[in-house]
Chain A
Amino acid sequence: DGGITQSPKYLFRKEGQNVTLSCEQNLNHDAMYWYRQDPGQGLRLIYYSQIVNDFQKGDIAEGYSVSREKKESFPLTVTSAQKNPTAFYLCASSHLQRKNTEAFFGQGTRLTVV
């Protein structure tokens, strides 16, 4: 079955550590996205990538980094510079250059700083 897979589902991090969240898709989508969701709030765009080896900052990129070495993969690193990293992180992918194209989301990673 085609889909988008995030791992791990739950992640605990000590203050000062970097952690990497995995996102893999087998939908042959060109574009991939990372969103952050805080309780009672909507999704906010962290980074996105429309092509391999290229990515753009979203609205809240500070303290995060990404890479896109393969079309299928778009890992997100939450660095120690991110002041408040506890949140629910969602990865999404979509086709580009098509009308009516929706985003497909992964199941999310819940990151908690302890």
Chain B
Amino acid sequence: QQPVQSPQAVILREGEDAVINCSSSKALYSVHWYRQKHGEAPVFLMILLKGGEQKGHEKISASFNEKKQQSSLYLTASQLSYSGTYFCGTEREENQGGKLIFGQGTELSVKP
């Protein structure tokens, strides 16, 4: 039931764009995205709800395809600070808060 993220790892130069995908085999209520630096706490980026509602960072965009149960995170004009591991967390019902099922993560490295 764990969502599958792709790619597993990506290396970018500063200013390049990247897309990270998160796919589930089950119907979802929401998808949450977090970024984690090594040895630190995951930091919230964005929530996408079934029906189109979103909440998140101004400089980060994402989409949620309810028919395909797939979410994509778009990182444009990447900066060095974008480096880290990105996780998607999924809810199958509403009001689950932090009771999420996480993907295995996508490691993003941004080089100068």
Contact = CB atoms under 8 A, between A and B. Distances in A.
B102 A93 contact: no
Interface stretch (B37-45, B66-74, B76-84): B37-45
Interface string A62-103: 000000000000000000000000001010111111111111
A42 B103 contact: yes
Contacts of A97: 95
Chain B, interface size category, equals 20 to 34
A100 B44 CA distance: 12
Nearest to A107: B41
B12 to A, nearest CB: 20
B98 A42 contact: no
A102 B32 contact: yes
Contacts of B32: 102-103
Contact of B105 (A35, A41, A88, A96): A41
Given A107-B41, A108-B39, A99 B102 contact: no
A11 to B, nearest CB: 14
Contacts of B44: 102-104
A103 B2 contact: no
Contacts of A102: 32, 44, 47, 55, 98
Given A102-B47, A103-B32, A96 B97 contact: yes
Given A100-B55, A103-B44, A92 B103 contact: no
Contacts of B105: 40-42
Given A48-B98, A103-B98, 15 more contacts: A31-B99, A33-B99, A42-B2, A43-B89, A48-B99, A88-B39, A90-B42, A96-B97, A99-B53, A100-B47, A100-B53, A101-B47, A102-B32, A106-B41, A108-B41
Shortest beta-carbon contacts, A-B, top 6: A103-B98, A94-B97, A42-B102, A105-B41, A94-B98, A100-B55
